[in-house]
């Protein structure tokens, strides 16, 4: 997100009776900004005459009129007057150097390298490695942590989640020369090639999705800026309205923890507090007595997002801010090792979204289209959302707006949608804060309302995000390290809605309802605590009972192979032991369970397997696996049999469809569930041409179906699939 004078986000405040989530912004509220009656924004007069000495970043919140020393006092202008003096010290830096070892204690220093710092618990995190000759965390070997090794008094492994704003997945390729600490965490722990953000790939929606496991349409934070027609209010980064609880739906992890008696530390710090200070504070909280110590912590870094916007994601100058972030992560890991907690604490490092190239020369302007732009309000940028300027307008019609923006320019760089017509994979329609008209932007392009009156002399940005979350540049990172994660494990990519359940499992919490699939990421955990149960199958497959049928052509089917009766029967004769070896190829996840009363049997083929219903005379499901191959060339069809459909000798005519039935119905045709284009042998092509591999389709749908199959086949031939992908087609 763009960070001028504003920043981020969600904090958990602990008092005997309340836990709160807030968003921070550095500038003062705009004039005339009145809080609604529902707001929890603190407006009482607060004295600043107290002191923060010995109280810096305390976990409790002091009620007005007392002044505060917690993380949010800057948000509410309620800090004690000496907060900066005592709590934001930077003198001496945040690390020990050889010349500082054994120094006299200086209370103005941010952290200490004196002989008594270990006893007092305020050493710089690299004190032991620099001053006592111990190996720093990053220089040590990868060690498999068999089980959590926690000091006495720890009732569970603490969890630290560190989120890096705008950390594009491809930044990981920079390796240990730029990001050695992140590289080691990834190498020694559990990671995925990338993690997919939710749409829109903006900061606020994704951070709150990480915290709740909900899609934005479900938790309500549908953008960094949004308007609620019922509240008649606008949420944005620059106003105090974002502090109003009414915007925030769902149950974030810190509330889940609080409700189940687990203390949480601060979530997502304001930018005015240096990142190094945030890390040192987390480490100091781990020193707290057993009855005060939180077990779930989170830190948010505004980098590398700021420099990604300013420089662009491909700039070599981005290496320096990445090194700085990595060094601070190293400070955290050194601090954990120094406290003997590096085999106790679980650490999760994530990004909220990626970063794409952008430039002022790649902006579309709505006044170039046949719209009355004076009558609309646009939320601009890497996605466009349009609503009427006058909410009571009788002339505004979303359908007309979409029509006037559809295919109007030969080089148009966006596609307009009514929100209910957006791709369902985006999960971005079911919320009143999502405008009726949505512009899905092409990568690298932005939308604005009106062409500037004066031409730009310079462009202030070279990167942006918010685009379709399937775009590779929007991908971000996931790394898990600690006693609960598997050692040197790589898991497939996943969507960030899944992490809430994982965090709950790590903390021993019962998750609140969410959009994730609990247990879907069990493979990354050494000892998963949740094991999904499957419903008991209603109808198992029956033995094939039509095997004695003779091949007949009474179904109106015709092929060149129709006279190869003995060869056809031999092809479908069971093996000597009566079994087929299909479990590891065609059904890698097991056979689909049929959850209703019916009669069906399994039909085995060279490259697929079907669950065939005699009652319906067609497959209930067909399953097959497409393997990545350097040369996946389909067997060519002979021109006389392009539309060939074969009779299946295993199924009687009474339980089979008929080719003549299709030929007599001009409104209906057949389609193949296992497409012949996927066949890699002559035997497989024969299997694919069987009438038991067909289902009825309308011609219009068949065109879509055929296009889908051909596109998938082409993708596999090009080697785009990184893993074997089981495909299952259901009726």
DSSP 267-322: -S--TTS-HHHHHHHHHHHTTS-TTT--SEEEEEE-TTHHHHHHH-TT-GGGHHHH
E strand or H helix at 479: strand 478-481
CB distance 565 to 612 below 8 Å: no
* Domain segments of the chain as ranges: 135-357+473-524, 363-460, 565-730
The whole-number pLDDT of residue 2 equals 40
What span, in angstroms and rounded, lies between the C-alpha atoms of 190 and 496? 15
Q: What is the DSSP letter of 685?
A: H
Which CATH class name applies to 363-460? alpha beta
Preceding peptide of 626 cis, ω within 30°:
no
Question: Among 656, 546, 569, 678, which Cα is nearest to 561's?
Answer: 569
622: Cα separation from own chain's centroid: 30
91 bridge partner residues: 109
Cβ neighbours around 623 below 10 Å, total: 25
Q: How far is CA 610 from CA 42, 231, 311, 624, in A?
A: 63, 53, 54, 9
Q: What per-residue confidence (pLDDT) applies to 170?
A: 98
Q: What is the pLDDT of residue 173?
A: 97
299 or 167: which carries more pLDDT confidence? Answer: 167
Tokens 């705009």 found at:
30
Q: Residue 553: which of 568, 542, 543 has the closest Cα?
A: 568
Question: Do 426 and 217 touch, CB atoms closer than 8 A?
Answer: no
Which of 107-111, 292-296, 513-517, 650-654 is least confident?
650-654
Structure tokens given for 93: 């830096």
The pLDDT tens digits of the residues spanning 182-192 come to 999 999 999 99
Top CATH class of 565-730 equals alpha beta
Mean pLDDT of the chain: 86
Catalytic residue among 62, 75, 190, 203: 203
Does the pTM surpass 0.85? The reply is no
Q: Tell whether the model's pLDDT for residue 11 goes beyond 50.
A: no
pLDDT (0 to 100) of residue 238: 79
Q: Which of these ranges, 507-511, 626-630, 676-680, has the smallest mean pLDDT?
A: 626-630
pLDDT at 642 (0 to 100): 43
Q: Is the pLDDT of residue 706 over 50?
A: yes
Q: Can you give the three-state secondary structure of 317-360, one letter per residue? A: HHHHHHHHHHHHHHHHHHHHHHCCCCCCCEEEEEECCCCEECCC
Is 40 a residue whose pLDDT tops 70? no
Alpha helix stretches (DSSP H) within 628-681 = 659-663
Q: Which of 47-61, 301-315, 360-374 has the lowest mean pLDDT?
A: 47-61
Q: Give the model's pLDDT for residue 552.
A: 54
Residue 35 has pLDDT above 80, yes or no: no
**Which residues have a Cβ under 8 Å from the Cβ of 291 and sit 6 or more positions away?**
none
CA distances to 362, 430, 642, 692 from 678, in Å: 40, 38, 14, 17
Query: Per residue in 355-388, pLDDT tens?
Result: 999 999 999 999 999 999 999 999 999 999 999 9
297 token code pair: 């912590």
Confidence check: pLDDT of 345 > 80: yes
Question: What letter would DSSP give residue 185?
Answer: H
Architecture field, domain 135-357+473-524: 3-Layer(aba) Sandwich (3.40)
Average pLDDT over residues 137-156: 95
Query: Three-state SS for 16?
Result: coil
Query: For 632-659, what is the mean pLDDT?
Result: 70
Q: In 366-413, where does DSSP find H-type helix?
A: 398-405
Neighbours of 146 (CB within 10 A): 10
Is residue 203 among the annotated active site residues? yes
Which CA distances in Å does 674 have to 399, 560, 623, 684? 39, 20, 8, 10
State how far the Cα of 266 lies from the Cα of 6, in Å rounded to an integer. 18
Q: What is the pLDDT of residue 65?
A: 84
Q: Per the structure block, which two tokens stand in for 620?
A: 């209930």
pLDDT per position as a tens digit, 416-429: 999 999 999 999 99
The secondary structure element, H or E, covering residue 18 is strand 18-20
CA distance 85 to 80: 10
Partner residues linked to 381 by β-bridges: 447
| The pLDDT of residue 562 is above 60 | no
Handedness of CA 267, 271, 273, 276 (dihedral sign): positive
Read off the pLDDT band of 711 (50, 70, 90): confident
Question: Distance between CA 598 and CA 609 in Å, rounded?
Answer: 18
The average pLDDT across 513-523 equals 97
Task: Output phi, psi for 334, to 5 deg.
Answer: -65, -40
Q: What is the pLDDT of residue 116?
A: 94
Q: What is the CA radius of gyration of the chain?
A: 31
pLDDT at 31 over 50: no
């Amino acid at each position: 997100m763009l960070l001028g004078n504003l920043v981020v986000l969600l904090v958990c405040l602990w008092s005997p009776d309340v836990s709160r989530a807030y968003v921070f912004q550095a500038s003062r509220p705009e004039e005339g900004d009145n809080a609604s009656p529902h707001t929890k924004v603190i407006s009482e007069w607060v004295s600043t005459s107290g002191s923060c000495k010995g109280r810096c970043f305390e976990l409790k919140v002091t009620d007005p009129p007392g002044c505060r020393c917690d993380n949010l006092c800057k948000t509410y202008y309620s800090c004690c007057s000496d907060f900066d003096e005592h709590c934001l010290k930077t003198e001496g830096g945040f690390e020990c150097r050889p010349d500082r070892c054994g120094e006299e204690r200086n209370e103005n220093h941010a952290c200490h390298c004196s002989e008594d710092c270990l006893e007092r618990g305020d050493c710089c995190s690299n004190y032991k490695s620099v001053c006592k000759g111990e190996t720093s965390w990053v220089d040590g070997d990868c060690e498999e942590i068999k089980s959590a090794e926690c000091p006495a008094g720890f009732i569970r492994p603490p969890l630290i989640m560190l989120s890096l704003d705008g950390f594009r997945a491809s930044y990981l390729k920079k390796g240990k020369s730029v990001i050695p600490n992140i590289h080691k965490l990834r190498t020694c722990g559990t990671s995925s090639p990338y993690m997919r953000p939710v749409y829109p790939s903006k900061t606020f929606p994704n951070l709150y999705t990480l915290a709740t496991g909900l899609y934005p349409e479900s938790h309500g934070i549908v953008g960094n800026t949004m308007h609620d027609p019922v509240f008649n209010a606008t949420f944005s980064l620059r106003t105090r309205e974002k502090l109003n609880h009414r915007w925030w739906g769902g149950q974030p992890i810190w509330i889940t923890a609080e409700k189940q008696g687990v203390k949480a530390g601060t979530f997502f710090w304001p930018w005015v507090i240096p990142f190094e200070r945030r890390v040192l504070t987390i480490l100091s909280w781990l020193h707290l007595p057993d009855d005060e110590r939180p077990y779930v912590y989170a830190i948010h870094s505004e980098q590398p997002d700021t420099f990604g916007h300013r420089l662009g994601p491909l700039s070599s100058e981005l290496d320096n801010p990445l090194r700085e972030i990595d060094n601070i992560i190293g400070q955290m890991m050194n601090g954990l090792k120094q406290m003997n907690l590096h085999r106790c604490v679980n650490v999760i490092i994530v990004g909220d979204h990626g970063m794409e190239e952008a430039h002022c020369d790649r902006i579309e302007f709505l006044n170039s289209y046949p719209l009355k732009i004076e009558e609309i309000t646009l939320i601009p940028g890497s996605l466009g959302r349009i609503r009427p300027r006058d909410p009571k307008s009788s002339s505004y019609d979303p359908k007309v707006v979409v029509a006037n923006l559809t295919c109007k320019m030969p080089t148009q760089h966006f596609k307009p949608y009514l929100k209910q017509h957006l791709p369902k994979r985006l999960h971005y329609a079911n919320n009143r804060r999502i405008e009726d008209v949505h512009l899905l932007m092409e990568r690298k392009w932005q939308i604005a309302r009106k062409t500037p009156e004066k031409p730009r002399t310079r462009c202030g940005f070279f990167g942006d995000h918010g685009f379709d979350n399937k775009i590779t540049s929007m991908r971000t990172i996931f790394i898990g390290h600690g006693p609960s994660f598997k050692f040197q494990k790589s898991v497939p990519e996943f969507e960030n809605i899944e992490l809430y359940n994982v965090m709950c499992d790590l903390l021993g919490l019962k998750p609140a309802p969410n959009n994730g699939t609990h247990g879907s990421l069990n493979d990354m955990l050494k000892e998963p605590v949740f094991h999904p149960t499957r419903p008991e199958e209603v109808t198992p497959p029956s033995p094939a009972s039509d095997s004695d049928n003779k091949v007949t052509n009474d179904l109106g089917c015709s092929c060149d192979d129709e006279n190869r009766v003995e060869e056809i029967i031999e092809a479908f004769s069971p093996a000597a032991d009566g079994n087929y070896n299909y479990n590891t190829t065609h059904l890698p996840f097991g056979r689909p369970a049929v959850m209703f009363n019916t009669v069906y049997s399994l039909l085995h083929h060279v490259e697929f397997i079907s669950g065939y219903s005699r009652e319906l005379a067609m497959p209930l499901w067909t399953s097959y696996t497409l393997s990545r191959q350097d040369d996946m060339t389909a067997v060519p069809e002979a021109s006389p049999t392009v539309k060939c459909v074969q009779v299946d000798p295993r199924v009687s005519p009474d339980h089979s469809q008929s080719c003549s039935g299709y030929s007599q119905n001009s409104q209906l045709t057949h389609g193949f569930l296992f497409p012949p284009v996927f066949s890699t042998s002559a035997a497989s092509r024969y299997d694919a041409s069987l009438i038991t591999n067909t289902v009825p389709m309308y011609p219009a749908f068949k065109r879509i179906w055929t296009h889908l199959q051909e596109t998938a086949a082409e993708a596999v031939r090009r080697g785009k699939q990184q893993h074997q992908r089981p495909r299952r087609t259901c009726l």
